[in-house]
Structure 1
Amino acid sequence: MANDRGQTQAAVLIAAIILPHHKVTGSGQAFLVEAKDEEEQKKLTTELAKAVKGDVTRLSNGMYLVLRG
């Protein structure tokens, strides 16, 4: 029963890459990386996603999430 058709695997949050104006109180098991500006944020997001072979999602507020799963 290891491959049950009704089961789906949820993505795991690896990191949130934020800017100084984002207010995040905690990140659980994920890395929380604060970039100094949008250029550094994009660069760090790309590098981190590549390092962990993760997918990137940009939220409407400008935060980037690196997910795997």
Structure 2
Amino acid sequence: MGNERSQRQTAAIIAVVTLSNHKIVSAGEAFVLEAKNEEEQQKLTLEIAKTVKGDVTQLSNGIYLILRS
């Protein structure tokens, strides 16, 4: 007890893989990649995640985030 704060893990967004119809205003330090279609978006997401050993999250609007703890 008392050390809950030090036990929290945070994830950093390494990359954002999006389509041209998505508007990304700012991604901080994350790498933003625009795919030409959904098939390429999925392929690029998996390739990047594998390379950086990251986790993938798909948002409800179709944008993929690659995270690393």
Aligned identity (percent) is 56
RMSD over aligned Cα atoms: 1.1
Q: TM-score, normalised by structure 2?
A: 0.91
* Superposition pairs of residues 1-69 of structure 1, within 5 angstroms: 5-6=3-4, 7=6, 8-69=8-69
**TM-score normalised to structure 1 length:** 0.91
**What residue ranges of structure 2 are gaps of 5+ in the alignment?**
none
Q: Flag structure 1 segments of 5+ consecutive residues without an equivalent.
A: none
d(CA) in 1 for partners of 2:35, 2:22: 11
Moved over 3 A (4+): none
Deviations 1:10-56 (A, max 9, x none): 10000000000000111110000000000000000000000000000
Q: Which amino acid aligns with 2:24?
A: V
- Between the two proteins, the alignment pairs up a number of residues equal to 66
Q: Secondary structure at the match of 1:32?
A: strand
